Amino acid sequence: MAIYAANWKMNILPSQVQELVTGIVDHKLSDSDQVILCPPSVYLQEAVNLTSQSQVVIGAQNTYFEVSGAYTGEISAKMVAELGATYVIVGHSERRQLFGDNDQIINKKVLATLEASLSPIICIGETLEQRESGDFYTVLESQIVSAVSGHETVLSAADFLIAYEPVWAIGTGKVASPEQAQDVHAFIRSRLESIFNEKKISILYGGSVKPSNAGELLLQQDIDGFLVGGASLSVADFTAIMSA
């Protein structure tokens, strides 16, 4: 079984949504595989409608941590849940770097997502500088701990995913080698097991995943699937990743 999540980011025009979603829905999946499409929020309803008769489910790329109120421009997890979506990406490195999503905000967003009965896809990952400093496991550990802190009980009873996305591999064409990714995934797994008492949590890899590197990455023991950016904007590439 593998999980294939698509992060369209701020791409795709209204006229392109149907073709992209139905192209992915039409791809034959094995019963145990799971596909999660995360379009820009303006397309969430359409994506939910287009996938309602399929195994494909829909997620938002971001939600605010308050339920409602005077927060111009934001959307709440409850809105996303009522539309029929099931996942929310939380803590993507672009949100951390460009929109000020710090550890405290991410922690609140994880809780808000769970309170709306949505499943968070919690993203963690080190920058190139942090990797080269050699101490990036401390960075990853602190990202995990700060995202889940205080919510361990509710997370234990919920579905959620972790996505390991090295920042230096996102959108750069520079993918982590299967060994590099496996080492980090094994580390994340052991940390999660100690926090969540052996609960089985799927860990996705993200960062320049393509049809040409997906197969080898997925062979790694602790890689349970992918969070795909650029290559998820093409039916041919994303379905090739799903077949890899």
- Bridge partners (DSSP) listed for residue 5: 36, 227
* Tokens at 2, concatenated: 């593998």
Write the DSSP assignment of 225-237 as a string of letters: EEEESGGGG-HHH
CB 132 within 8 A of CB 167: no
Q: Closest distance between ligand PGA and the C-beta of residue 233, in Å?
A: 9
Q: Closest distance between ligand PGA and the C-beta of residue 70, in Å?
A: 31
Residues in the interface with ligand PGA (CB under 6 A) total: 13
- Choose the catalytic residue: 94, 151, 165, 185: 165
Which residue, 50 or 170, has its beta carbon nearer to ligand PGA?
Answer: 170
User: Site map for ligand PGA, 203-222, x if CB under 6 A?
Assistant: ---xxxx-------------
Site membership for ligand PGA, residue 90 (CB under 6 A): no
Site membership for ligand PGA, residue 170 (CB under 6 A): yes
* Three-class secondary structure of residue 163 per DSSP: strand
Q: Which residue is nearest to ligand PGA (CB)?
A: 229
* Tokens at 24, concatenated: 């992915």
- From 26-34, 79-87, 96-104, 229-237, give the range in contact with ligand PGA by CB under 6 A: 229-237
Told to judge if 92 belongs to the known catalytic residues of this protein, a careful annotator would answer yes
- Choose the catalytic residue: 27, 92, 151, 185: 92
CA dist 6 and 87 (Å) reads: 11
CA dist 60 and 81 (Å) reads: 9
Per the listing, tokens 């949505």 go with 118
CA dist 99 and 48 (Å) reads: 26
Q: Closest distance between ligand PGA and the C-beta of residue 183, in Å?
A: 19
Give the footprint of ligand PGA on this chain (CB under 6 A).
7, 165, 170-171, 206-209, 227-231
